[in-house]
Each structure stands twice: as structure tokens, then as C-alpha cells.
Amino acid sequence: MLFLRLTPTLPNTFINLASPIVDAPYHIFFLTTIIGLIPAGYVTIKARLAFGEL
């Protein structure tokens, strides 16, 4: 689950919709979502700061 969140090939909407179908436990889904979205948020914030300096 964490690998799916970290790879940019699958959209998060697909993962959110497919998780109940494959019967992913809620605590695993919640933890991997939090941990998996931190790198994307960090990159987004750093990019915004870099563009702000231009």
C-alpha cells in the first residue's frame, strides 16, 4: 500500500476506490496514506518556494 502511494503512476483516487474492494484494513490504509503523501507534499511546497523566488 505504501509503495502504491509513493509511485506517481497510480492516481490517489484509484487507490482510494480500490482499497475497500481488496479489503485493505483501515489502519493500514490510514497510515500508508499519511506516510505516502508526505513526500508529495514536501516536493510541492519546495517547488512553490522555488517558483516564488523566480
pLDDT of residue 30: 92
How far is 33 from 2, CA to CA, in rounded Å? 7
Residues 6+ positions from 37 with CB-CB distance below 8 Å? 5, 12
pLDDT tens over the chain, length 54 residues: 777 777 776 687 888 888 999 998 999 999 988 888 888 889 989 999 999 888
pLDDT of residue 42: 92
Domains identified in the chain, total number: 1
Q: Model-level pTM?
A: 0.63
Helix, strand, or coil (residue 52) = helix
pLDDT of residue 54: 86
**What is the domain extent for residue 47?**
2-18+25-52
